[in-house]
Amino acid sequence: MSKAQMVGWSHSHFGKSEAPTTQALMGEVVAPALEHAGIGAESVDGIFVGVMNNGFSKQDFQGALVGMAHEGLGMVPAVRMENACATGSAALYGAIDFIESGRGRIALVVGAEKMTAIPTVQTGDILLGASYREEEAEVEGGFAGLFGRIAQQYFQKHGDRSAELAMIAAKNHRNGMANPYAHMRKDFGFEFCNTISDKNPYVAPPLRRTDCSLISDGAAAIVLADEETAAGLERAIAFRSRRHMNDVLALSRRDVTEFAGARRAWAHALDDGGVSLDDLDFVETHDCFTIAEMIEYEAMGLAEPGQGYRVIRDGVSAKDGRLPVNPSGGLKSKGHPIGATGVSMHVMAAMQLMNEAGDMQVPGAKMAGVFNMGGAAVANYVSILERAK
């Protein structure tokens, strides 16, 4: 079986975009990704699209929009994936399966979301589609309210870690200063992130505005090829291993202070790859809220349950720490256009491994971990990446 490798990519600026639709956003990244890979549209065997939508736009059938955005792709088989905030990773893994099953040699993955064209209140309700509405639809504050509850329960169990959450926010905003694609390129500093104010109010206590990722528009694209094709191209990033593990959707049926599905995904991916965290040079992880990043420290094995605060306090996850986490600025600074996020995270990692990350670069990066989750750690995707050429 020939393994799939990333051979090219492209990334739009994340934020409030003048592009009116996901089709327009896709149009910003498709041609540049193909050019980056050195591949013509006629060589693409399959297209895999990640767009959550769920009401952001009345236009659906999003898989077919790539062929509208790039006329050379109108006749290529295309499919759209949706898996909440892990939608982009679902599309990417579907494309990998397509290649590794022998059904095609080259696949195009496109993740996109247009979130800012509707009122914020409506956006909050759409995002609640990634919760278990039968039990959680009336949670005050929408999805932030769900993670506020997670933070409350975590604090009750392990102590108030608001200061450490502010440290995570400050770290990611500081890192995001170096990311030209980031929505919020501003170094807020610890004191601002840790202080309740008119500019940093509670959104869903104990979570403040600086603890929550941004509502963003954006797109990212990846070109995948089998090993034989990749060998003749300029660059190639290999998946040393990858895992997708699920957990129960309803928060009432599990311990929300630990991300058990994420823990299993990390453990299996590291075991499959024959590596440990010590072999990784950095991690891009899903910091939709700062409490998520703290619990993810524990899920990946950087700390024991309840001890995630030590990772940020000891500087382990800083850009110059033992295991830098989110050198791109993460979702917190970069933004979180739902369907684009999983694709974006893999693009950020690939740029690092190819030494093409500019001011974001982690010196000497050779192996990376990427964790993207859908919902409150329901759909959990872990990729272990390394440079193949």
Q: Are 275 and 240 in contact (CB under 8 A)?
A: yes
Residues of the chain above pLDDT 70, percent: 100
The tokens for 144 are 């932030």
- Rounded Cα–Cα distance for residues 322 and 276 (Å): 13
The answer, yes or no, to whether residue 57 has pLDDT greater than 90, is yes
pLDDT value at residue 138: 87
pLDDT in tens, 261-305: 999 999 999 999 999 999 999 999 999 999 999 999 999 999 999
Mean pLDDT of the chain: 97
Residue 10 parent element (H or E):
strand 4-11
Residues above pLDDT 90, as percent of the chain: 98
pLDDT at 39 over 90: yes
pLDDT at residue 7, rounded to an integer: 98
CA 276 distance to own-chain centroid:
21
> Is it the case that residue 354 has pLDDT exceeding 90?
yes
Verdict on whether the full-model pTM lies above 0.95 = yes
* pLDDT at 1 (0 to 100): 80
> Is 203 within 8 Å of 151 (Cβ atoms)?
no
| Count of other CB atoms within 10 angstroms of residue 120 | 10
- Interatomic CA distance for residues 288 and 4, integer angstroms: 28
DSSP conformation class of 304: -
- pLDDT, tens only, 110-166: 999 999 999 998 999 999 999 999 999 988 888 999 999 999 999 999 999 999 999
Residue 87 structure tokens: 């939608």
Average pLDDT of the residues in 360-382: 98
pLDDT tens per residue, range 169-217: 999 999 999 999 999 999 999 999 999 999 999 999 999 999 999 999 9
Q: How far is CA 136 from CA 120, 124, 163, 378, in A?
A: 19, 13, 28, 14
pLDDT of residue 227: 98
What number is the average pLDDT over the span 87-104? Answer: 98
> Rg of the chain over CA atoms, in angstroms?
19
